[in-house]
Each structure stands twice: as structure tokens, then as C-alpha cells.
Amino acid sequence: MISKINQLLAELDLLKVNTGEELESLRVKYLSKKGEISQLMNDFRSVAAEEKKEIGKKLNELKEKAQNKINEIKSNLEDSGSDNVAVDLTRTAYPYHVGTRHPLSIVKKNICDIFTRLGFSIAEGPEIEDDWHVFSSLNFAEDHPARDMQDTFFVMNGTDILLRTHTSSVQTRVMEKTQPPIRIICPGRVYRNEAISYRAHCFFHQVEALYVDKDVSFADLKQTLLFFAKEMFGQNTKIRLRPSFFPFTEPSAEMDISCNLCGGKGCPFCKHTGWVEILGCGMVDPNVLENCGIDSKIYSGYALGMGIERITNLKYQVKDLRMFFENDVRFLQQFESAY
């Protein structure tokens, strides 16, 4: 072992390195866990007791010399700038800013990723729609308030062409052309004639999900919602379903999650209830299935829909909805580290 140590000591004296890659190769050769010095350390355990003192001293000398030599070469390379790195003299002296993704895009991707892991595929449709796909096929009554000009942007008075008020129109288009099983999510922008404020806007974004097949039950819906809530907001998240009404689902419910700020204990954000509403859902009304050419006696399904802005508010605690659409660089730069 003494001869091997002396051999390595001699090699260290003759080391010459010109690039950082060569230096890294030498570091791995001598100082890595599987390097030559580490192997000698392992062999040292079997050395006779009377030789341990002498060999141990030489071994420590070798390790210290190797480390010092590597550090010395590294310092010389850095000082000389001879690491074969070409210097671009035309490059600006100012650092390049890292690009960002919009928080709504980040959250939409998160939502889509969660549902695609459950077997859902992404479906898209036109933003300029007709009355049938937005309202009539979805079981809206002729006198439903959503049809009023105060809520819907009609492209031209006296026609049934409008800007879609929800992405449920994509669901009806898919059901008209596809027979079950159907398992889709529909992300997109929607429009409603509302006053712009910190909590509302005339356009926003939704993600809706639809699952139609044989023997689909409310239990399937509940399990999907629970999985989504835990994946999006954390494994300690709880959900609560409250009865509600939507023209296109029966029975219908609204889903709350335990407040992710206070952990369900109660705070100003959740109005001291411990719960925050995030989406509406329910079993697809048989009339909707029949309107789209699907036999409601054979098939059933569930649907759910959520506002992406609402989920983003909860995830990033953005209190003013208008900030998402003003393109304020100071606001967007907060998401530089987000994928």
C-alpha cells in the first residue's frame, strides 16, 4: 500500500490541467467516493495494527495534497479565464431577465394535468357560439335570466349568435358528435356582461369536466372532486358539498374546500367559516343527454365547472381580479420561479 501511495503522490506533482472538464475528471479519479484515495481508505481497514500509524500518516498526506492540488488548479483556471469559454464582447452588460408564465396559465396547466392523470382528454370549442349550444341544449328555459342582454354579449341584436358565457358549450358539441364513453375537460375563456371590479370581470376563464358512461354515479363525482382538491391544494384539504341548482345538472351541488390559509379554523379570508367555495357540479340532467343524441336510459354522467381565476386567487392569495388582466410587470415578475 505504501508503494501505491507514493505512486499517487508522484502523479500529483506532475498534474497539468488546461480545462475545467479535465479538472473534473481528475477530481473524480482521486477524490470521488469510488476514486483511488477512497479505495485506499477502504483497504486501510485490513492493514496490520503495527503498520497503521505509518500508512495512516501517508494516506492523510495523500488526501490533503490531492485536495490542495485540485483547489490550486481550479483557482488558476478561474484567474486566467482559460477554461475554454468564449467571451462574447458584444453581450450586454445587463443581465437577461427570466421569462414568466402568467399565473392563470400556470393554474390552468395544473388543473389540466390533474384531470388528464384521471383519463380526461382536453376539448376546445369556439368562443363565438349560438343559442342552442350555450343555452337551449343545456336545458335553459326560454325566460332564463342568463339569456338577458344584461348577462350575455350578443354579437348582433335580433340573432342567436353570442359570446359564450361558459365552456359547457364545448361539452354539448362533443356529445353531439361522440357516443359514450366521454371523458373530457374544457378549458377556455368566457364572457359575461358584468361590471368590472376587484371580484368580477367581463371576461374570465373556466375549466369544465364531463364524464358520461354506463352506471356513472354521484359517488364517482365525489371521489373525483376529492382527488382534485387534494392534488391542487394539499393532502390535508377537505371538501364539503352543498345542494344547489343548475339547469343542466340534477342533482346539483356546490363544493367548498377547507380554507388553505387557516386550515379550516376560520379567518377573514373564509369569513371565519373555515370553508371556501370553488366550483359547481352535479349529475348531467337526462334532458341534456337526450338533446345531444345520447340515450339517458342507458347512460348517465357528471359535470363540474370552476373559474380559473377563483382557483388562482386561492393558490396565490391574489385579492384583486383585475391584476390578472392589466399586464403589470411588477405583478407578473412574482411568478418568475413558477414553471
Residue 81: per-residue pLDDT: 56
* Contacts by 115-122, CB closer than 8 A, 24 or more apart: 115/185, 115/207, 115/209, 115/228, 116/185, 118/183, 118/224, 118/227, 119/183, 120/183, 120/184, 120/185, 120/209, 120/211, 121/183, 121/184, 121/185, 122/184, 122/185, 122/186, 122/187
Q: Is residue 237 part of a domain?
A: yes
**Do 146 and 63 lie in a common domain?**
no
What pLDDT does residue 292 have?
A: 93
Q: Which residues of 59-97 are buried (b: 16+ CB within 10 A; e: fewer)?
A: beebbebbeebbeebbeebeeeeeeeeeeeeeeeeeeee
85 inside domain = no
Pick the last residue of a domain from 45, 80, 115. 80
pTM of the model: 0.67
Residues 165, 67 share a domain: no
CA dist 167 to 36, 137, 222, Å?
A: 64, 13, 21
pLDDT by position in tens, the chain (length 339): 777 777 777 777 777 777 777 778 877 877 777 778 778 777 777 777 777 778 778 778 878 888 887 788 777 777 665 545 556 677 777 666 667 788 899 999 999 999 999 999 999 999 999 989 999 999 888 877 776 666 888 887 777 888 999 999 999 999 999 999 999 999 999 998 888 877 778 888 999 999 999 999 999 999 999 999 999 988 988 999 999 999 999 999 999 998 877 777 777 777 888 898 999 999 999 999 999 999 999 999 999 999 999 898 888 878 788 888 888 888 888 876 555
| Integer Cα distance of 158 and 149 in angstroms | 11
Residue range 205-215, pLDDT digits in tens:
999 999 999 99
Query: Is there a single domain that holds both residue 150 and residue 275?
Result: yes
Domain, as residue range, for 306: 103-335
DSSP state of 335: G
Strand pairing of 182-191 and 121-122? Answer: parallel
211 forms bridges with which residues in the sheet? 183, 302
36-43 and 20-31 are packed helices; what angle lies between their axes, rounded to 10 degrees? Answer: 10
Instruction: Kindly state whether residues 173 and 258 are assigned to the same domain.
Output: yes
CA distance 103 to 324: 8
On whether residue 94 sits in a domain, the answer given is: no
User: Does a structural domain hold residue 152?
Assistant: yes
Q: How many separate domains does the chain show?
A: 2
Helix (H, G, I), strand (E, B) or coil at 301: strand
Question: What are the pLDDT digits (tens) for 46-59?
Answer: 777 777 778 778 77
Inside any domain, residue 213 = yes
318: closest CA among 105, 111, 98, 104?
A: 104
Q: Do 76 and 178 share a structural domain?
A: no
135 with 63, same domain? no
